[in-house]
Structure 1
Amino acid sequence: MWKESKQEPDILAERHQGTLIELDLCPQSDLFQFQGHFPEQPILPGVGQLDWAVRFATDRFSLTQTIAEISQLKFRDLMLPEVQITLKLDLQKEKNRVVFSYTSGEKTFSSGIIKLSDQ
């Protein structure tokens, strides 16, 4: 049974430098994405990571295009609740895409490219 709960992590800090944005996030254990995935050791599903990257990129860059494709999507390590992570979003206007990665220190959890429509 799914419980109504918050769907985005707390934003601890935000840094902007040109078309690069870094968000320090803390995914709390009671977030919707952790429900049922998995009861004995919650992990943040890849679809949740992708959803946050798209949501934050759309909001922070005021994107109006639709998503045309997701490419080079890689999941390298498990993302656990209550662990501070950094979401890096790099808007590459000339290539009509946003490159993203989730990291903590030297560890990369996941990364990929959000290709935007030519609209």
Structure 2
Amino acid sequence: MPSITPEQLNAQLDAAQWPRFHALVQRSDQAIIELEVPDDLRYFAGHFPQQAVLPGVVQVHWVGELAARLFAVGAFTELKSLKFNSMVLPNTWLRLTLDFHAEKSQLKFSYATQEQYFSSGVLVFKSGDRQ
């Protein structure tokens, strides 16, 4: 299993397209990541004029890319049980929880704070697609 720090993630990923990572606790089948969604992300431009909102597709993209880095899986093939409960606004701090089930080639995720859930779902990877 690859091991990576929040500082390494921040250095490796484009700050205009990624949140700022502040903490990461990783086990073989789970990662809990504390992150900040800064107001200068390019995804906020024009989405929407009255109130900037982080697109759901970006949230899913981040999960897929982080799964590849943290659990050495390939591209996901299916998205299940996707729910958006609250809008992610600029300058929001979140806890992203990733639970990887290798036997099912599935990754359950949720973006939340102690007060509320923002989004959750399950990414399914091609069986045996670990890198």
TM over 0.5: yes
Runs of 4+ in 1 over 2 A off after TM superposition: none
Which of 8, 28, 31 aligns to 1:18? It is 28
**Contact residue 64 and residue 75 of structure 2 kept, 8 A:** no
Aligned-residue Cα RMSD (Å) equals 1.3
- Whether contact under 8 Å (2:47, 2:54) holds in the other structure is yes
Count of residue pairs the alignment pairs up: 114
Whole-Å Cα distance in 2 between the matches of residues 11 and 37 of structure 1? 23
2:62 — aligned with what?
52
Q: Does 1:30 align with 2:37?
A: no
Which of 64, 70, 75 does residue 66 from structure 1 map onto?
75
Percent sequence identity over aligned pairs: 34
| One-letter amino acid of the counterpart of residue 108, structure 1 | Y
Measure, in 2, the Cα distance between the counterparts of 1:93 and 1:24. 23
Give the Cα–Cα distance (whole angstroms) in 1 for the partners of residues 124 and 47 of structure 2. Answer: 28
Q: Deviations over 1:13-60 (max 9, x none)?
A: 111233110111101111011111112211111011111111111111
Report what 2:109 is aligned to.
100
**1:112 equivalent in structure 2:** 121
TM-score, normalised on structure 1?
0.90
- TM-score when normalising by structure 2: 0.82
